[in-house]
Structure formats: C-alpha cells, structure tokens
Amino acid sequence: MPFVKAADLAEAARIAEAALTLDTGEAAALVGHLSRPPEGRRWTALAVDGGVVMASMSDKDPGVGHLDLLAVHPDARGEGRGRTLVRAAEEWLGEQGARQARFAGNPPCYAWPGIDVRYTAAACLAESLGYERYHVAWNMTADLSADLPVAEELARLEKAGVTVHAAGADRERVAAFIQEHWNERWAWEAVTGAGLHYAERDGEILGFAAWGARPAWFGPMGTAPDARGLGLGRVLLRRCLAEQRAAGQDSAQIGWVGPLRFYSRAVGARAERVFWLYRRDLA
C-alpha cells in the first residue's frame, strides 16, 4: 500500500497539472488557491508517490468535511493510490470532527462545485467507496471573442443617476454591501478576486460583479432587490468579462450557475460543465 505523507505543494501542483486534463493551465494555480483559504478553515494536503489529495473543514459547518482536490498522475494509476488518498483524507476529516465527507466545493475557496462528470474515473472511485450522488451543479461558458459593448447602457444608466466603477481601495465598502445582502462567502470572493465592479446611485451601492476569486472563473454577482430591472447585471457582467479577455482569456467559466436564461441572453453563454456532488457519512 502506498505510504501517505504531508504533500509538498510544488510537487502537488506538478501532479495536478498532469492529471487534471480538463483544467490544463490552471490546475497548479488551484493547488495554490486551496492552500490560501479564508479564516475559519482548516485544510490539509496529503500525498503518495504520484498522487495528492486536498481536504478542508470550515468552522461554520463543523460536521462536514470536503475533499477539494484529488489527482493521481497518469503514470501512477491502477495501483490503488486514489483509494488510499481518499481514505487518508477521510481519516483526517474525522480527526477534525467531521461526521460526513463530501466531494463538493467548500465555498468560498473551492476548485469545482463537485466532480466534473467527464472525470469519470473519479466519479466511479467515489461511488465504489460508498459515496452517494446527492446534487448536480453546472457551469456556463462565455465566448470572450464576442462583442461585449456597454457604452449605450452606461449612458442610459448615467441619465438615471447610476454610475459604474471598477473597485480599487473601496473593495471593503463593496464587500460590506455584499455581506449585508448575501453572505460573507461572496464578500470574501469579491475582496480576493482579480476584478470587481459595482454600480451605485447617490452614494448607495446597487449591485456588483466579480471574477477571479476562483482562478479564471466569473462570479459571484448580485443586484440589490430594489435595484432590479435597471439592467445592471448585464453591464457589470460584460465589464468583468472584458477584463478577463484583456487578461488573456479566450473564454470564461461562469461558475455554479443559477439563472441560465440571464447569462444566455446577456452574453450568449452556454451550459457546459456538469458536476456531480457526492457525500458519505463517516463512521
């Protein structure tokens, strides 16, 4: 049986790049991302020769543990490394007080909502270890080669007294708005993301959109209830996507999507990545 040890994150990133073929180019960044979670989270990275697993526990959900990333190098598969790593992660989670383990994103600092259905071997492994599929999530993909005009809409909003800004030193102010209307998880993503835009009127923030908290993905975004219907979401979304294009991306993942119709109409996004979420009660 492979020997489990604490993972070297540089080696973990190398393994992830080789193993996570649906996430080429960002797998190494995901290892770094998961190793810099918000306060109130405990995490670990465990390794065997050719394989790595990352797991976490959040203080606000003390009974639930998450398997955030599992990767086995293509040259090391077929010898039980994945199974060994999952069991080692479960043992660590149990020691932290978890009563249930999940292959599901632990927001706000996560790699995926669950197991991408195209990583079929990972789904099969989870099911063989007694995990039950309990939910489905999906992403949409926005083609960033398409036009993303906002000039006319910005002019219309300005006539209504609404201005749109890229957040800088005022990120904490925007985060306070997000926490008031949604939750601290979204606020953390907004503050730590690569880009953050918001709309305001008479000094009152009305809506926001962010990208890059989860590397290369868009989200979260939201509009205050009394400001809906002004068309803010479309403008904020397009401004973020334009920044992602300027950063060198040719497409953007809109993560953990709820309103399919909005994103389809606003930027022609298509539903694409589908994730199965799994859970298992721990002894």
Residue 131 lies in a domain: yes
Domain for residue 141, yes or no?
Answer: no
Q: Does residue 209 share a domain with residue 104?
A: no
Structure tokens at 142: 């926005």
Give the pLDDT band of residue 259 (cuts 50, 70, 90). confident
| Domain assignment of residue 270, yes or no | no
Distance CA 17, CA 176 (A): 36
* Dist CA 59 CA 227 (whole Å): 34
For residue 109, is it within any domain? yes
Q: Which residue has the tokens 């957040």?
A: 167
With a CB cutoff of 8 Å and minimum separation 6, the contacts of 130 are 280
Mean pLDDT of 117-123: 97
pLDDT of residue 252: 97
Q: What is the pLDDT of residue 242?
A: 97
- Considering the domain architecture, whether residues 65 and 180 belong to the same structural domain is answered as no
The closest of 135, 139, 87, 133 to 112, measured between CA atoms, is 139
Q: What is the pLDDT of residue 283?
A: 83
pLDDT attached to residue 2:
73
CATH number of domain containing 190: 3.40.630.30
Phi, psi for residue 4 in degrees, rounded to 5: -95, 135
User: Does any domain span residue 265?
Assistant: no
Claim to verify: residue 130 and residue 18 sit in the same structural domain: yes
pLDDT tens track for 226-248: 999 999 999 999 999 999 999 99
Q: Which domain holds residue 218?
A: 146-249
Q: Looking at the domain assignment, is residue 201 inside a domain?
A: yes
Residue 150 and residue 130 share a domain:
no
pLDDT tens-digit series, residues 20-64:
999 988 999 999 999 999 999 999 999 999 999 999 999 999 999
pTM (2 decimals)? 0.94
Q: What is the pLDDT of residues 192-232, one digit of tens each?
A: 999 999 999 999 999 999 999 999 999 999 999 999 999 99
Q: Do 29 and 122 have their domain in common?
A: yes
Provide the number of structural domains found in the chain. 2
Residues 6 or more apart in contact with residue 92 via CB below 8 angstroms: 44, 46, 55
Predicted local confidence at residue 212, as pLDDT = 97
263 part of a folded domain: no
Residues 157 and 72 in one domain: no
* In a shared domain, residues 109 and 208: no
Domain annotation covers residue 257: no
